[in-house]
Amino acid sequence: MPARCEATNARGEPCGMAPLQGTSQCWAHNPSRGEARALARKRGGRNRRVALAIDPPTDAPRLRDVGAIQRQLEDAVYNTLRLANSPTRSRTIGYLLGFALRALEVGELEARLGALESQLPSPSPWRTA
């Protein structure tokens, strides 16, 4: 019995895996293990699947003012924090926090501009621009 599988890999090189006991082929190349390989692939894919933090929304968010955008950003940060820690998650949180800071700045400017506009005298209806 060979010390290595007699099959070749996709590059045409010898497989290199140890053969199953009593056979000349490894687990990956033995034709009688086809169902077990398929089941293992299916299980592996299921285990690698990334679960959603929450169910996706059923209706489209209304992003018509700074407050609504800030709420959506808060939800996005919260949902991202619930995911498993990874470099991608950390990068996403950084981007979202940058957007949130910008939304806070715009909201503050909007409030200040509204306060200034409220102090202006109302224009005369007889005046044309």
CB–CB of 106/66 below 8 Å?
yes
Sign of CA dihedral 45, 47, 52, 58: positive
Q: Give the mean pLDDT of 104-123.
A: 89
Percent of the chain scoring above 70 in pLDDT: 86
CA 4 – CA 16 distance, rounded (Å) = 5
- For 53-99, how does the pLDDT look when each residue is reduced to its tens digit (9 = 90+)? 566 677 887 888 888 888 999 999 998 998 889 999 999 999 999 99
CB–CB of 92/53 below 8 Å?
no
Q: Give the mean pLDDT of 113-123.
A: 87
**Residue 14, pLDDT above cutoff 80:** yes
pLDDT band at 43 (very low <50, low <70, confident <90, very high): confident
25-28 long-range contacts, Cβ below 8 Å, gap at least 24? Answer: none
What is the pLDDT at residue 51?
A: 62
pLDDT band at 111 (very low <50, low <70, confident <90, very high): very high
Q: Which residues have a Cβ under 8 Å from the Cβ of 17 and sit 6 or more positions away?
A: 4, 5, 26, 27, 28, 29
What is the pLDDT at residue 34?
A: 85
